[in-house]
Amino acid sequence: MSKLFNLKIMTPEREFFNGDVEAVTANAPDGSVMILADHAPFIMPVDIGNIKIKKDGDWDTSVNSEGFLEVRHDGVIIFVQACEHPDEIDARRAEEARLRAQEHLRQKQSMTEYKQSKIALARAMARLQAGGSSSLNH
């Protein structure tokens, strides 16, 4: 049996997850990182994408926005602006957000507006990839 560790995923609105897990993966600026029990402590930024949680031998995927991850001796805490299960995603809204962000990127903008549009586009794409796109057929 795999060793377990405590994982908490927090957003400003809610505690998204709190429980013992076998592994967790998250997107860092330079690639995906997997954390297992007894990992050395560290802190890293988390990019928009997916957080995958392995519990009872099965993987569960959620969509997250930017934040950071802290590995501690007593577990792992992930702080992100937003985190959603695929079944919580409104595919039509995600597609509209993707189109809006792409249009904003085509327009002349300040550097701040450009970065915000890129973040919005990345989040919409992650939401669609996580299963929201299958809801477009309904």
Count other Cβ atoms within 10 Å, centred on residue 25.
17
CATH 1.20.5 fits 88-137, yes or no: yes
pLDDT at 112: 73
Residues 117 and 99: their CA atoms lie apart, in Å, by 11
pTM for the structure as a whole: 0.69
Pick the CATH number of 5-84 from 3.40.50.720, 3.30.530.20, 2.60.120.280, 2.60.15.10: 2.60.15.10
Q: What is the rounded average pLDDT of the residues 55-64?
A: 92
Predicted confidence (pLDDT) per residue in 17-43, tens digit: 999 999 999 999 999 999 999 999 999
> In the structure, what pLDDT confidence band is assigned to residue 107 with cuts at 50, 70 and 90?
confident
